[in-house]
Amino acid sequence: MEVFTQQLINGITLGSIYGLIAIGYTMVFGIIGMVNFAHGDVFMVSAFIALVTLLLVTTWLGIGSFVIALLIVLIVAMLFTSLVNWAIERVAYRPLRGSFRLAPLISAIGMSIFLSNFVQVAQGPRVKSIPPFFNEVIVLMSGNGYDVAVSYKQIVVWIVTAALLLVFWFVVTKTALGRAQRACEQDQKMAALLGIDVDRTVSITFVIAAALAAVAGTMYLMYYGVVSFADGFVPGVKAFTAAVLGGIGSLPGAVLGGLLIGLIETMWSAYFSTDYKDVAAFSILAITMIFLPQGILGRPDVEKV
């Protein structure tokens, strides 16, 4: 029971990070129908930007307050990652819109290879670790010589994720921008006829996706304390699995899928074996796509001739 509760806490934390990345996949797929293969690497780049900012803030500016430092890191990482993703869309995907089906996917794979190797060359191939900080935990219950604890970091991850999701939900459902986005999702041509700048809306979608990925990247860096250039691929695939599991195109589905994947992964590691935890994630991806392609909250895709 204690192990289960502890894994539940860990799983929700991990799931929040996956959920934030999964929203990026699901939004981009919803609006232009492509799997943004480079999104996992955008997440990794954001973690590096957060790392640089964190070092800048703590060692150069000497800001000691954890909350202020985190806030600055978050905002800077979101800004720069948004710029990166905006540029990627502009350079690698926009010229291919309306081209044949596989072209954007191949371009995205190329971008993914480019990004991870760029970071490897620019920042070195070694794993970067930040000094441990903010390690206090709250012991919830203990029994059988096993403490169930929530760390402050985990609480921060939950609060930041929840706050950002609220803001994001507000933007998508209540603002003109969100309305334009949903309109483009349903029918781009019609949206354009009604005076919506489709290119701009797609760009903004990429910017929002990147901003959420940057939040995930910052949380990842803070929570694990390490990041390397190769950290984009596997979290990327898992977040994509989350998006598919929740129903691709559905925003609540992405969050739900993220939480589920996070829970499955931690439970699998706790009760079966850590060796095969990635196999579990990949198997869920394959099984979902084969047997439940519309996901939990998605709409079934009807093919018209």
Of 107 and 188, nearer to another protein (C-beta) is: 107
Is residue 111 within the footprint of another protein (CB under 8 A)?
A: yes
Residue 61 touches another protein, criterion: CB under 8 A: no
Q: φ and ψ at 97, to 5 degrees?
A: -70, 135
Residue 5 within binding range of another protein, rule CB under 8 A? no
Total of residues contacting another protein (CB under 8 A)? 65
Q: Of 68, 106, 159, 292, which one interacts with another protein (CB under 8 A)?
A: 106
CA distance 70 to 53: 10
Does residue 294 belong to the site contacting another protein (CB under 8 A)?
Answer: no
Widest distance between CA atoms in the chain: 66
Contacts of another protein in 237-276 (CB under 8 A): 237, 240, 244, 275-276
Out of 71, 96, 149, 172, the only residue in the binding site for another protein (CB under 8 A) is: 96
Rank residues 55 and 263 by Cβ distance to another protein and give the closer one.
Answer: 55
**Smallest distance from the beta carbon of 281 to another protein, in angstroms?**
9
Closest to another protein by CB, 136 vs 303, is 303
Of the ranges 7-15, 182-190, 196-204, 284-292, which one interacts with another protein (CB under 8 A)? 284-292
Nearest CA among 253, 64, 291 for reference residue 72: 64
Question: Considering the complex, what minimum distance in angstroms separates the CB of residue 262 from another protein?
Answer: 18
CB of 99 to another protein, least distance (A): 4
Binding pattern for the stretch 67-86 against another protein, x by CB under 8 A and - elsewhere: -------------x--xx--
Distance separating alpha carbons of residues 208 and 85, to the nearest angstrom: 9
Beta strands 137-143 and 226-227 are unpaired
| Residues 3 and 270: beta-carbon distance below 8 Å | yes
Is 91 one of the binding residues for another protein (CB under 8 A)? yes
CB 216 within 8 A of CB 39: no
Residue ranges in 21-40 that form contacts with another protein under rule CB under 8 A: 34-35
- Among residues 13, 174, 9, 28, which one has the least CA distance to residue 111? 28
Cβ proximity of 184 and 31 under 8 Å? yes
| Of residues 222-241, those binding another protein (CB under 8 A) | 233, 237, 240
d(CA 106, CA 224): 31
Distance CA 202, CA 188 (A): 10
Query: What is the rounded distance in angstroms from the CA atom of residue 164 to the CA atom of residue 155?
Result: 14
Q: What single string gives the DSSP state of each residue in 262-297?
A: HHHHHHHHHHS-STTHHHHHHHHHHHHHHH-TTTTT
> Residues interacting with another protein, by CB under 8 A?
34-35, 45, 48-49, 51-53, 55-56, 59-60, 80, 83-84, 87, 91-92, 95-96, 99-103, 105-107, 109-115, 117-124, 126, 128-131, 233, 237, 240, 244, 275-276, 278-279, 282-283, 285-286, 289-290, 293, 303, 305
